[in-house]
Amino acid sequence: MSFLDRFRKKREDEAGRVARLSRTGRMIDGTVLDTVCDAAGIITQVCYAYTLGGVQYESSQTLDQLQRQRSHDYMPGTQIIVRYDPKQPANSIVV
């Protein structure tokens, strides 16, 4: 490890990002815009939007196994809860 490596910001993996936002992210209401389904018709990915401080953010997320079991909760137009990072509001997850 070089001297400069000590000062470089560590990249967070996806599982760590989701775990951190699940614990410490602030909650806000969002709306499902669109969904992606697999061959069996189960929703696997959602596209969603939320507004914070007058700015509208849009994002998408692949649903985990537990969320896929509740696919009726993620139909387009449905209100959802989003957790976001207050320092980077575009960084968010669907609860």
* Domain contains 7: no
* Domain contains 38: yes
Per the structure, the count of domains in the chain is: 1
pLDDT of 48-94, one tens digit each? 999 999 999 999 999 999 999 998 899 999 999 999 999 999 999 99
* Domain contains 79: yes
pLDDT value at residue 8 = 66
Q: Does pLDDT of 10 surpass 60?
A: yes
* Domain contains 44: yes
pLDDT value at residue 57 = 97
* Domain contains 87: yes
Which sign, positive or negative, has the C-alpha torsion 25, 86, 16, 72? Answer: positive
Nearest Cα to Cα of residue 33 among 59, 63, 12: 59
pLDDT of 40-57, one tens digit each? 999 999 999 999 999 999
Task: Read off the amino acid at residue 69.
Answer: Q
* Domain contains 8: no
Q: Find the domain containing 54 and state its range.
A: 29-94
pLDDT value at residue 12 = 77
* Domain contains 20: no
Chain mean pLDDT for the chain: 91
